[in-house]
Amino acid sequence: MKGNIVVGQSGGPTAVINSSVAGVYAQAKKLGVKKVYGMVHGIEGFLEDKLCDLDEYLADPTGIERLKRTPSAFLGSCRFKMPKIEGHEDVYEKVFEIMEKHDIECLFYCGGNDSMDTVKMLSDYAKEHGKEQRFVGVPKTIDNDLPITDHCPGYGSAAKYIATSMKEIIRDNESFGAKKPTVCIVEIMGRNAGWLTAAAALSKDADCCGPDAIFLPEVDFDIEKFMDKVRELAATKSSVVIAVSEGVHDANGTYICEMGREVAVDAFGHKQMSGTAAMLAEKVAAATGLKTRAIEFSTLQRAATHIASLTDINEAFQVGADAVKAAEAGQTAMMITLERNGDDPYQCGTGAQDIHYIANVERKVPEEWITEDGMGLNEGYEAYARPLIMGELLPLYVNGVPSHLVRKK
């Protein structure tokens, strides 16, 4: 590669999105790329020429190790949707103008569904206007809902956090025994796809019964069926712990968390959810008189790098590095994918797929992995997900707390 490159981060952060930046940087430097720029706050910042030089942070090899241990978007993220090309050519020209100004030959963008649309739009524009710059997507999302790729970097670490925290919550909830059964409802992220909520099932092992029921948005939520299940569990168990996706909705598509209140909407038109567990806990308490507790993992499920999966960190690094290799080989309008070769032992390589098959497509939990009663996951999911949470990378503790790498402001 003769020119420089730039890497950006977009959308909701993950525990390992910075490992992908580290992978891009490390591979580019191996190939002799002179400057590896970072977009400050994604394409939105790039349009304002906000760049940083990653040599400043990563030239020292301990920088890469520290970056791998740093949660959230090191470069800053954005939620910026590229406008349609027609009538907005100026926005596109601005991107290419800034690329040319810094002699940037390739642009790498780490993100999920919405962010891959940016890669698609920019590469479409380049093709239409005979521009030579190349654009490669680096998959990233805790939601695990990108199509084609076996799974998404970011998911394994979120799943490990969820499985670990769920196990700790189950232990806690059991402590008072049968005389004081508490019904604990844990709300997990996932607007339309239940991948994250499914990860609650990974808490089950020889030393943990796992959650008593799991409600995914893939299955229409029936409040009566839910209450019957709670009553049945409370009658026989000394502790009831239920995992519920923030995105569960009834057969009409009405989100449970929408019932009885207004819900805000973000730049992409997605509803801002939360409050599902609290609402269900209130209903259970009112109907049964049992003590209830509502827990939301909230942003910690995407930020808890202190318990990230080593498999996930390594794969996030790998897709970053392989995006650079793909661009070096002349590819553009692609996203790097993870391609699984086996579950046991787990083996996974990478590929590259046309961005047009990926952008704006959502993948849900397959029906065959959901138990017949619609309230759990079976061994198919376990075989798929367990390898993704394996391994740990010890945080660098300073003053008793994990240390992070910080971008100068």
Considering only residues 83 to 142 of the shown chain, the ones binding a copy of itself according to CB under 8 A are none
- DSSP SS3 for 64: helix
Instruction: Tell me which long-range contacts 278-286 makes (C-beta under 8 A, separation of at least 24).
Output: 278/187, 280/185, 280/226, 280/242, 280/244, 280/256, 281/183, 281/185, 283/223, 283/227, 284/183, 284/185, 284/227, 284/230, 285/183
Tokens 């969820």 -> residue: 162
CB of 307 to a copy of itself, least distance (A): 6
d(CA 14, CA 304): 8
238, 220 Cβ separation under 8 angstroms: no
Our CB check for a copy of itself shows the closer of 12 and 137 to be 12
Count of residues that interact with a copy of itself, criterion CB under 8 A: 71
* Catalytic residue status for 150: no
13 part of the interface to a copy of itself, by CB under 8 A: yes
237 part of the interface to a copy of itself, by CB under 8 A: no
Considering only residues 336 to 355 of the shown chain, the ones binding a copy of itself according to CB under 8 A are none
Binding residue for a copy of itself (CB under 8 A) from 62, 236, 299, 360? 299
Q: Which two tokens stand for residue 314?
A: 């390594």
d(CA 383, CA 23): 27
Q: Is 171 buried (19+), middle (13-18) or exposed (0-12) by CB count in 10 A? A: middle
300 part of the interface to a copy of itself, by CB under 8 A: yes
408 part of the interface to a copy of itself, by CB under 8 A: no
81 part of the interface to a copy of itself, by CB under 8 A: no
Q: Where are the beta strands (DSSP E) in 103-181?
A: 104-111, 134-139
240 part of the interface to a copy of itself, by CB under 8 A: no
CB of 318 to a copy of itself, least distance (A): 19
Going by their DSSP bridges, the two strands 334-343 and 346-354 should be labelled as antiparallel
Considering only residues 154 to 213 of the shown chain, the ones binding a copy of itself according to CB under 8 A are 160, 163-165, 167-169, 171-177, 179-180, 184, 202-203, 205, 207-208
CB of 383 to a copy of itself, least distance (A): 12
Catalytic site residue from 117, 143, 212, 322? 143
CB of 42 to a copy of itself, least distance (A): 9
d(CA 215, CA 198): 8
Q: Which two tokens stand for residue 126?
A: 């380049």
CB of 294 to a copy of itself, least distance (A): 8
Our CB check for a copy of itself shows the closer of 184 and 248 to be 184
Q: DSSP code of 29?
A: H
302 part of the interface to a copy of itself, by CB under 8 A: yes
44 part of the interface to a copy of itself, by CB under 8 A: yes
Our CB check for a copy of itself shows the closer of 72 and 133 to be 72
Considering only residues 374 to 403 of the shown chain, the ones binding a copy of itself according to CB under 8 A are 386, 389-392, 394, 397-403
Going by their DSSP bridges, the two strands 104-111 and 134-139 should be labelled as parallel
Catalytic machinery residues = 143
